[in-house]
């Protein structure tokens, strides 16, 4: 209710309490399978543990309440799994969680869920990119006012604005892919030495030097995660990296959404959000068409960096397992994932349905009656009056036009210091569409990148 950006989304279900429980159970099964592959436990035990884990349903509220006794949910989860396995195959129960520790299970489960969520985010970013590419291509030559420090600056094109959004989205999508490809499994045992894993293998065929590293390799492969160089129980770079990626994604999408909010203001009205039954309505004012999609995205973008900051701060983890720092990561991580996934989904809907109003862009360009290209005139007149003098004179003309005394063109024509210096084609120089610089070339460059990355 209080976070509608992800309500009802895939992220809401994919990051639920039940899904976290299922992920931890999947990790327990993967550990058993890896140990069976190396001959530490019987293949039969691994099969039973895997099957029971995948079918086990543990009550989330019960698990949460009982977890207060251990400050993490894994201890109780292992108790429940062991009891369930014992009912099927008593001997296999002794092989549940063999040599492991809570952090190995919870961290690895978190990486599974992060990987899945990043995949979903990446899919929605692809939708955003495709929609922005359409806008950039369609409006590559559509003139509008560029605004700096909240005021009209010089002419630009809506196509270039969309291309800027697109380029940032492509950067974020690339980082999502890189982060997803680097997610590590966690396997270190009690304090990161893998000692118990090796000890349980001592009297088996696997009981040789290097067994711990071999187990870590098989375990990571079972989960589809990266084998880390060392256990990272208190080396929390992976979480910081994930947080940074989520902050970048929501920052990029938030910039796009914030621009949409600004451009959809009543006095600007250059773009309009897509319509839908019941969307954008006010509880009090019948005339309102609020930019609610953009609002949801901006809301997420303002929250995620704060959750990511918690993950970054938790890099200050003492010893081989930190009391409190590790525990402080779980909820911020989940909320950052939910918010980012919700923002990406919402931004895709926004980009795909965004309505662009070129006529309003033209009307707004004409508000300054030509002063929006004063920079161009300054470049032309600088060689005749000097750069500083030209700027002073043009500023005075622009001020007269802004005060409503005359139009900018009239102010130029009437200014005594400009007599004999204005070029004959001054009216042409005042046309906004004639002062767009390399806007179209920049759009082409970004569209080329988007096409290349779409097919790679």
How confident is the model over 204-251, as pLDDT tens digits? 766 677 899 999 999 999 999 999 999 999 999 999 999 999 999 999
User: What pLDDT is recorded for position 278?
Assistant: 57
| H helix and E strand count, the chain | 19, 4
Give the list of residues 6+ apart from residue 283 with CB closer than 8 angstroms, or none: none
Rounded to an integer, the average pLDDT of 426-435 is 86
Rounded to an integer, the average pLDDT of 312-322 is 96
User: What pLDDT is recorded for position 369?
Assistant: 82
Cα–Cα distances (Å) from 153 to 9, 148, 156, 251, 372, in that order, read 40, 6, 9, 24, 6
Coil, helix or strand at residue 276:
coil
Residue of 54, 208, 282, 363 with catalytic role: 282
Q: How confident is the model at residue 397 (pLDDT cuts 50, 70, 90)?
A: confident
Cα–Cα distances (Å) from 268 to 75, 111, 153, 402, in that order, read 58, 45, 15, 18
pTM: 0.93
How far is residue 243's CA from residue 179's CA, in Å, rounded to a whole number?
Answer: 10
Share of the chain above pLDDT 90, in %: 76
State yes or no: is 360 an active-site residue.
Answer: no
User: What pLDDT is recorded for position 282?
Assistant: 47
How much is the mean pLDDT over the chain?
Answer: 93
Q: How confident is the model at residue 408 (pLDDT cuts 50, 70, 90)?
A: confident
Please write the tens of the pLDDT for every residue from 255-305. Answer: 999 999 999 999 999 999 998 665 555 445 555 578 899 999 999 999 999
User: What pLDDT is recorded for position 205?
Assistant: 66
Residue of 10, 321, 362, 449 with catalytic role: 321
User: What pLDDT is recorded for position 446?
Assistant: 98
Cα–Cα distances (Å) from 103 to 57, 74, 232, 284, in that order, read 21, 8, 10, 51
Rounded to an integer, the average pLDDT of 314-338 is 96
Please write the tens of the pLDDT for every residue from 90-144. Answer: 999 999 999 999 999 999 999 999 999 999 999 999 999 999 999 999 999 999 9
Lowest mean pLDDT, pick from 54-58, 268-272, 383-387, 438-442: 383-387
State yes or no: is 140 an active-site residue.
Answer: no
Q: How confident is the model at residue 333 (pLDDT cuts 50, 70, 90)?
A: very high
Whether the pLDDT of residue 420 is over 70: the answer is: no
Rounded to an integer, the average pLDDT of 390-398 is 87
Coil, helix or strand at residue 271:
strand
Q: How confident is the model at residue 402 (pLDDT cuts 50, 70, 90)?
A: confident
């Amino acid at each position: 209710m209080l976070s509608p950006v992800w309500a009802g989304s895939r992220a809401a279900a994919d990051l639920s309490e039940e899904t976290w429980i299922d992920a931890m159970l999947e990790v327990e099964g993967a550990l058993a399978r890896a140990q069976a592959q190396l001959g530490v436990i019987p293949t039969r035990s691994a099969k039973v543990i895997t099957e029971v884990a995948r079918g086990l349903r543990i009550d989330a509220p019960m698990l949460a309440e009982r977890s207060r006794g251990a400050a993490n949910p894994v201890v109780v989860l292992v108790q429940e799994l062991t009891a369930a396995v014992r009912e099927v195959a008593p001997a296999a129960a002794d092989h549940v969680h063999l040599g492991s520790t809570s952090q190995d299970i919870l961290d690895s489960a978190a990486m599974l869920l992060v990987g899945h969520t990043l995949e979903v985010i990446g899919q929605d970013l692809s939708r955003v990119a495709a929609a922005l590419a359409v806008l950039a291509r369609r409006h590559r030559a559509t003139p509008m006012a560029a605004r700096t420090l909240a005021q009209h600056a010089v002419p630009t094109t809506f196509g270039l604005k969309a291309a800027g959004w697109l380029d940032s989205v492509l950067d974020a999508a690339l980082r999502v892919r890189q982060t997803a490809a680097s997610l590590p499994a966690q396997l270190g045992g009690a304090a990161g030495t893998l000692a118990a894993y090796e000890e349980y293998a001592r009297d088996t065929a696997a009981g040789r030097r290097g067994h711990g590293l071999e187990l870590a390799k098989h375990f990571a492969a079972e989960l589809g995660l990266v084998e880390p160089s060392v256990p990272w129980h208190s080396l929390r770079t992976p979480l910081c990296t994930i947080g940074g990626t989520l902050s970048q994604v929501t920052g990029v999408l938030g910039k796009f959404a914030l621009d949409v909010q600004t451009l959809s203001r009543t006095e600007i009205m250059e773009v309009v959000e897509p319509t839908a039954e019941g969307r954008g309505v006010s509880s009090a004012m019948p005339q309102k068409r609020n930019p609610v999609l953009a609002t949801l995205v901006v809301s997420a973008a303002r929250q995620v960096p704060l959750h990511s900051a918690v993950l970054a701060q938790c890099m200050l983890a003492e010893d081989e397992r930190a009391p409190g720092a590790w525990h402080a990561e779980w909820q911020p991580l989940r909320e950052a994932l939910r918010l980012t996934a919700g923002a990406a989904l919402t931004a895709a809907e926004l980009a795909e349905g965004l309505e662009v109003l070129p006529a309003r862009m033209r009307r707004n360009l004409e508000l300054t009656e030509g002063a929006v290209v004063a920079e161009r005139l300054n470049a032309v007149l600088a060689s005749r009056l000097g750069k500083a003098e030209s700027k002073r004179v043009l500023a005075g003309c622009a001020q007269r036009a802004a005060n409503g005394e005359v139009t900018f063109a009239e102010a130029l024509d009437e200014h005594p210091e400009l007599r004999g210096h204005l070029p004959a084609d001054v009216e042409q120089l005042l046309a906004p569409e004639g002062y767009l610089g390399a806007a179209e070339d920049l759009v082409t460059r970004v569209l080329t990148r988007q096409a290349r990355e779409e097919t790679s």
